[in-house]
Amino acid sequence: MTLTACITGANRGIGLELSRQYLDAGWDVIATARNLDALDDLTDLAQEHPNLRIEQLDLGDQASVSAFADRLGNQPIDLLINNAGIFGPLPFVENIQKQRFGTVDFQVWADVLAVNTLGTLNVTQALVENVAASSKKLIVTLSSGAGSIGDSDRPAIAYTSSKAALNKAMTIVARTLKDREIVVAIMCPGYVRTRMGLGGGDVEVEESVSGLRSLISGLTMADSGTFRRYNGDVIPW
Ligand SMILES: NC(=O)c1ccc[n+]([C@@H]2O[C@H](COP(=O)([O-])OP(=O)(O)OC[C@H]3O[C@@H](n4cnc5c(N)ncnc54)[C@H](OP(=O)(O)O)[C@@H]3O)[C@@H](O)[C@H]2O)c1
């Protein structure tokens, strides 16, 4: 039986590479993009892979989330990867003061929370029955080690707190879905050379995604509610 992955924010970066690697592994992939007019490499991928379905989804737009869930209907999703996320306004140097104590821009903070935390939870709620109807029953959320209270001193208040809150919420989702045998895992992809990597990064996207896929392939109920890096390291909360 062919397995189905649904990957949010798949038009570039880690989401695009996740789509590519799951397609290469023979999965059906539902790849979502916020703007269907700017699909970049996803269109090329669709030409190589007829088992790629591209869908519009904006995490910050309730109508978009509801419409996406309606279009999916009863389609089983073996693996939901909550990948889409934002850092906040870029370029970094000109905008980072909006996330630093003393000069916090509260609209920026609200916008980042709306996508990374509320939006991710909203999509997870909207698709949980699709996951429950599948054989694998996996939900993987890409958080960030920067959201760790015990292990990160990154000063970007909006981004890091959005991921810390997401971590807490996902541990509650994990406990809530335990009786239904749905695994809910939280993962950090490492510091990856994508647009989110802000011009830096110590991991290539292919290596990060290979590591994430390896972790995902070994997930069991015992891993539900855990927070791990792409290389398997446990990240303190
Ligand atoms: N790269 C890193 O070093 C790193 C480290 C730790 C965690 N992460 C996490 O890994 C995930 C992927 O990061 P990345 O490096 O691939 O980032 P990226 O290259 O910036 O890509 C982010 C993706 O999310 C999408 N997105 C943004 N806002 C959205 C919204 N409102 N609705 C739907 N999609 C939206 C973007 O779509 P558009 O093209 O339309 O903007 C894009 O497809 C993120 O959750 C990020 O926080 C990354």
pLDDT one digit per residue (tens) for the chain, 237 residues: 899 999 999 999 999 999 999 999 999 999 999 999 989 799 999 999 999 999 999 999 999 999 999 999 999 999 999 999 999 999 999 999 999 999 999 999 999 999 999 999 999 999 999 999 999 999 999 999 999 999 888 899 999 999 999 999 999 999 999 999 999 999 999 999 988 877 789 999 999 999 999 999 999 999 999 999 999 999 999
How many A from CA of 144 to the centre of ligand 1? 11
Give the Cα separation of 54 and 234 in Å (integer).
Answer: 33
**Per-position b or e across 120-156, b if 16+ CB within 10 A of its CB:** bbbbbebbbebbeebebbbbbbbbbbbbbeeebeeeb
Give the Cα separation of 106 and 116 in Å (integer).
Answer: 15
Is residue 219 within 8 Å of residue 138, measured between CB atoms? yes
Query: How confident is the model over 197-231, as pLDDT tens digits?
Result: 777 899 999 999 999 999 999 999 999 999 999 99
SS3 state at 164: helix
CB of 122 shorter than 6 A to ligand 1: no
Residue of 18, 19, 32, 34 to mutate, ligand 1, most atoms within 8 A of C-beta: 34
How many A from CA of 89 to the centre of ligand 1? 13
Predicted local distance difference test score (pLDDT) of residue 152 = 85
Domains, the chain, in order of start with CATH, read 4-229 (3.40.50.720)
Give the Cα separation of 30 and 76 in Å (integer).
Answer: 11
Specify burial of residue 222 (Cβ count, 10 A radius: 0-12, 13-18, 19+).
Answer: exposed
How many A from CA of 179 to the centre of ligand 1? 31
| Tokens (6 digits) for 209 | 């995604």
